[in-house]
Structure 1
Amino acid sequence: MRKLIEQVAKFGVVGIIAFLIDIGVMNILLHLHLNNLLASTASFLISLAFNYLASMKYVFTHRDDMARWMEIVVFFVSAAIGLGINEVIIWAGTSMLPADAAVSMHAKYVLYTNASKIVSTVVVAIWNFIIRKWLLDAPAPGKPKNERSFARRLGAFSLAHRPFGWQ
């Protein structure tokens, strides 16, 4: 239980830094009058690069039974789903504004977009932690490995099928 609490805390620190990158870039783009969905997509992708590097270095332990290429695929597929969740929440949070709100009601548009971004960040963070813990995190040392688990089977597949000579 202690390891899980430490892991959640590390995930939180990485997530807060990624959130600050995400919301900072998004607001810069919003103030340049970029559409909120385009701004949030760009900022999400920029913060994702930091999140991947920091999460795999400080939060999750690499599974010896999974190839790095599969780890990257799982991380980015789960992130793509997270991006979809992010976009739907931001769209829903601003869809009631008039079509020209980005220009005519810019302050309200930015406020609603930021409020929606905060909600989406919480939802996506929960999604990311659950999916990454399930599929990417190595079992605790000394804990028996479940040979029939999906993560273990996915790892075995990835070790047997290395595309383009990847490791």
Structure 2
Amino acid sequence: MRSVLTKPAVQQFSKFAVVGIISFAVDWALLVALTEFLHVDYLVSTSISFIVSVALNYALSMKYVFTHRDDMSRKREFTIFAILSAIGLGLTDVLMFVGVTVLNIAYQLTKVLATFCVTWYNFFTRKKFLSTTE
């Protein structure tokens, strides 16, 4: 059984983390701007900011993190990415609802916790379904 923590996997996750930090900064800024300045409900703001950050994350991830699979068209690749991201959005929204509405935790802290959880889901599912094995 091959270890998941090989040097290439660690390097790939490091690139994924940098792309994630950039995407999170966009996600966070948009979430706070929509919620605080435009008074949009935190769940609606969460969804909008997540979708914008996913588009950025897709572009950066496919350019710098994951190797395109030759056996998959770009259309299919994006479709899989979109489906995986929609699941990630669902997980984020559930975690946000539970954290903010049920547990009464500030939406900003809940967003950080939700992002941490969903990041692991994103990395492993994208690696499995979108990247060639190296």
The answer to whether the superposition gives a TM-score over 0.5 is yes
The partner residue of 2:34 within 25, 29, 43 is: 29
The residue number in structure 2 matching 1:117 is 111
Structure 2 gaps of 5+ residues are 1-5
The residue number in structure 2 matching 1:90 is 96
Tell me if 1:129 matches 2:134: no
Q: Percent identity?
A: 40
The residue number in structure 2 matching 1:106 is none
Shift of the alpha carbon at 1:112? 0.8
Distance 1:52 1:127 in 2: 15
Larger Rg: 1
Distance 2:70 2:119 in 1: 25
Distance 1:80 1:23 in 2: 18
Shift of the alpha carbon at 1:84? 0.2
Counterpart of 2:128, as a letter, is W
Moved over 6 A (4+): none
- RMSD (CA atoms): 1.4
The residue number in structure 2 matching 1:15 is 20
Q: Secondary structure at the match of 1:95?
A: helix
The residue number in structure 2 matching 1:101 is none
Tell me if 1:40 matches 2:51: no
Distance 1:60 1:118 in 2: 24
> What is the CA deviation profile of residues 61-114 of structure 1, one whole-angstrom value per residue up to 9, with x for unaligned ones?
0011111111101100000000000000111111148xxxxxxxxxxx8x7101
Residues 94 and 57 of structure 1, relative CA distance in 2, 3 Å threshold: same
Where do 1:92-111 residues align within 5 Å?
92-96=98-102
The residue number in structure 2 matching 1:73 is 79
Shift of the alpha carbon at 1:121? 0.4
The partner residue of 2:11 within 1, 6, 14 is: 6
Structure 1 gaps of 5+ residues are 98-108, 141-167
